[in-house]
Structure 1
């Protein structure tokens, strides 16, 4: 169905090809997973299938890409629209209408389908993706995860033969991600649709893939094989595979069910050991020896800082927020202490982003009160509030305005009153190998997020808020992020992150707060909250339940 023949892509101004000498054949009616570290060219390779590369992005395409016999060099994206449906990493860039129902119908209108056919397919897609209750909602009022589902639905309605998806579950809660993946399986198994997708959260999708394509490093030739074969050699793999490597299991498990079937002896051995509990005391915690921050980061965060307010870095009391007819938050009580890392979790639309935006002063409470560092956020001038709290939003491009990475870093140093080079040192730690003259729009989604994080961290705010901080990050980049955040917490910074990444919460958070319908339904130590929740438990907790093990690193330390 899809054939790559000696394909190389070089962008204008780049010294080397982003992808080089790709020879692949993607069979019809299979779900093929594209994996690899951030920045190796996964999005570029996907773009060549839809014709976006090079017709929209520019650059030079050498070789040949054909989809069902059509050459993407001679067929522009609009000439492939009936054949290929594409959803990129940024759903906002995908939308052309204002409401959910209109967006689902737009692609079919462009293809001239009959109104009766359009109506039936819209209803089918609303039900498939759980969007029926949102059909009349303006897209701008939806959460990031809801927008992601609408973007996926808009390319399903024309019934393309090929679906190309870039990080399709990155903004979805675990239940919604399962729903989307089950829809993709039905399309593959029942309709013979060919699905090519790139995804960093392999724990969600690898067990569903028919084949896996690995891009090991920038410019390196890809490897293609079964999931089990590729996971043996892949530098990126889910926690159950890491546990399989640690325990010496052959073949390696790809799902929780596979791992649990083999975990009996391991559970017996671990039953005499005690899992290290996440620290929950409201004071700066010393970093664990195995997770100590790199020296460059430790030096960066060892400068004097303003002592946090004794009553806690942030407090919300009986907080309520209403947006039109929607009660986004209801009676929320939350206290964030210095040195504490809190993970906000819950379904898409539960109110996580609204709570962060209220803490940073972008949303005014309807009822109740919020204080950050002794200030009321929505009444504090931004120039003063930025020294108390910093937010890395879901869309990192909202923080990026300059034409180069160097210019962004220089502006961040100036705004924060930091020494020249402070922001750049953080960028180097988070994004090894990124050049100063790179335009932010030429970075991958994960790289842009890391740059936005470095910009906010340069100001060293006592309270750091992160909204979906691991979208687009591979496991290595996520590990570097964990090191940075642990170093910050050890220095007394409070961190609140809204995330659907249960593995990140298990690795990093002292506390987990679960929101549902705008209310706090659970608030407690990470191990207690996530192990008792089937939806938000990490893979290792499911494999080794009822014992309270959360991560592979905990198991490794116990066995050693």
Structure 2
């Protein structure tokens, strides 16, 4: 169905090819998972399937890519639209209508499908993706995860033979991600749809893949193989594989179920031991506090009587399904939403009454859409502006970027970065001001495991220096790794607030992989297990 024949792609002014010597065949009716570190060319490879590369992105394509027998060099994307459906990393870039239902129907209208067919497929897709309650909702009023589901649904309604998905679950809560993956499984198994998917959150998807394509580094040739075979040595792998490598299981398990079947001896070795406790934050005055906070947006009550306090040195993970109110709560702390009732204070200041330049010294927000913070033409210019705005020493922001994204050139335009790279650049811009309270909305979206580890190291250092950190995240592994406390929101209300180990272990949806494998023992992460095994010899 998809054939790459010695394909290389090189962009103008790039130091080397984005893709080099890719030779790959994806048969009809298979789910092929594309993995690799950030910036190795995964999005370029996906774009070559839909014809976006090179017709819209520019660059030079050598070799041949065919989809259902059509050569993408001679068929532009509109001539492949009946065969290939594409969902990119940024759902907003795909939307052309104003409401959910209109967006689901738009692709079918473009193909000239009959009215009754369109109506039936819209209803089926609304039910499949849990969007029925949102059918008349303006797209601008949706959460990031809800937009992601609408973007996927707008492609599913056209029933393409090939689905190309770039980070399809990155903005979804665990339950919504499972629903989307179940739909993809059904399409592959029952309808013979071919799915080519790039995803960093391998803990969610690797067990469903028929084939894995590993891009080891920029310009390096792709490696194709069975999932278990490649995960045994892949530089990017989920926690369950890391646990299997640590325990010496061969081949490493790809799912929690397979790992639990092998974990008996490991549980015996860990019995009677407990993870080292994190130092508890002190009783200092909170850096930020919401008390009885209620926020209404467009006539809808999004938050209801929320209480939240964040103290110096404390890291709080804010979790909950898409649309629960997490982003609204973070936005209230930076003055973007005025309380309908209740109060929000940051360092004694009322955010919505404080000038932004002054507020930046107290609190910083890295939003879900990093482009909202980026306006310069190059990475270097963004960093220089951040240094100036924060009153920091020249080079402070660039040093942060080098630490988090060592391979990014200063001359790169922010729009040419991947979604994850743009997010890290936006994070560096905010961190330059070193605000006492730092808020991050989905900070690991688009990040590979190595980049996520570098981010975690930076955030641990900030917490150790007394900064308060709030992470609104669907990344249960990040919460287990970093958070002292987990707060779960549901329909705008706090339904759980407590120590990380207590809250996530009691919730199947938010429990990390290691916790599920080693239950009922209290282990959450692979580093915790590694440390315990080293101490016991």
Normalising by the smaller structure, the TM-score range is over 0.9
Does 1:102 pair with 2:76?
no
Tell me, what secondary structure is at the counterpart of 2:232? helix
Shift of 1:333: 0.6
The 2-side partners of 1:174 and 1:512 are apart by: 15
The 1-side partners of 2:352 and 2:338 are apart by: 6
Q: Give 1:159's aligned residue.
A: 159
> 325, 328, 331: which is aligned to 1:354?
328
Shift of 1:433: 1.9
The 1-side partners of 2:372 and 2:57 are apart by: 20
Q: Could you give the per-residue CA deviations for residues 122-157 of structure 1, whole angstroms, max 9, x where no partner exists?
A: 000000000000000000000000000000000000
Q: Give 1:289's aligned residue.
A: none
| Root-mean-square deviation (Å) | 0.8
Q: Give 1:42's aligned residue.
A: 42
Number of positions where the alignment pairs a residue of Structure 1 with one of Structure 2: 534
The 1-side partners of 2:397 and 2:496 are apart by: 36
Note if contact 1:392-1:453 (Cα within 8 Å) is conserved in structure 2.
Answer: yes
Does 1:33 pair with 2:7?
no
The 2-side partners of 1:451 and 1:142 are apart by: 25
Does 1:376 pair with 2:350?
yes
Q: Give 2:369's aligned residue.
A: 395
Does 1:409 pair with 2:383?
yes
The 2-side partners of 1:521 and 1:34 are apart by: 37
Note if contact 2:50-2:77 (Cα within 8 Å) is conserved in structure 1.
Answer: yes
Does 1:552 pair with 2:533?
no
Q: Give 1:222's aligned residue.
A: 222
Q: Give 1:534's aligned residue.
A: 508
Q: Give 1:116's aligned residue.
A: 116
Shift of 1:282: 3.0
Q: Give 2:64's aligned residue.
A: 64
Note if contact 1:280-1:511 (Cα within 8 Å) is conserved in structure 2.
Answer: no
The 1-side partners of 2:218 and 2:35 are apart by: 12
Q: Give 2:476's aligned residue.
A: 502
Q: TM-score, normalised by structure 2?
A: 0.99
Note if contact 1:482-1:508 (Cα within 8 Å) is conserved in structure 2.
Answer: yes
The 2-side partners of 1:325 and 1:186 are apart by: 38
For structure 1, which runs of at least 5 residues remain unmatched after alignment? 284-309
Does 1:365 pair with 2:331?
no
Q: Could you give the per-residue CA deviations for residues 368-393 of structure 1, whole angstroms, max 9, x where no partner exists?
A: 00000100000101110011110100
Note if contact 1:278-1:509 (Cα within 8 Å) is conserved in structure 2.
Answer: no
Structure 1 residues 16-415: aligned runs within 5 Å: 16-282=16-282, 311-415=285-389
Shift of 1:99: 0.1
> 503, 513, 517: which is aligned to 1:543?
517
The 2-side partners of 1:280 and 1:181 are apart by: 38
The 1-side partners of 2:322 and 2:409 are apart by: 36
Shift of 1:23: 0.6
Tell me, what secondary structure is at the counterpart of 2:388? helix
Q: Give 2:446's aligned residue.
A: 472
Q: Could you give the per-residue CA deviations for residues 305-345 of structure 1, whole angstroms, max 9, x where no partner exists?
A: xxxxx521001000001112321100101110011000000
Shift of 1:15: 2.1
The 1-side partners of 2:430 and 2:22 are apart by: 38
The 2-side partners of 1:262 and 1:311 are apart by: 47
Note if contact 2:295-2:303 (Cα within 8 Å) is conserved in structure 1.
Answer: yes
Tell me, what secondary structure is at the counterpart of 2:461? helix
Note if contact 2:288-2:347 (Cα within 8 Å) is conserved in structure 1.
Answer: yes
The 1-side partners of 2:235 and 2:220 are apart by: 13
Shift of 1:273: 1.3
The 1-side partners of 2:349 and 2:521 are apart by: 42
Note if contact 2:281-2:312 (Cα within 8 Å) is conserved in structure 1.
Answer: no
Shift of 1:441: 1.0
Moved more, 12-21 or 45-54: 12-21
Tell me, what secondary structure is at the counterpart of 2:523? coil
The 2-side partners of 1:435 and 1:333 are apart by: 43
Note if contact 1:360-1:377 (Cα within 8 Å) is conserved in structure 2.
Answer: yes
For structure 2, which runs of at least 5 residues remain unmatched after alignment? none
Tell me, what secondary structure is at the counterpart of 1:151? helix
Shift of 1:445: 1.0
Shift of 1:186: 0.1
Shift of 1:268: 1.1
The 1-side partners of 2:469 and 2:48 are apart by: 39
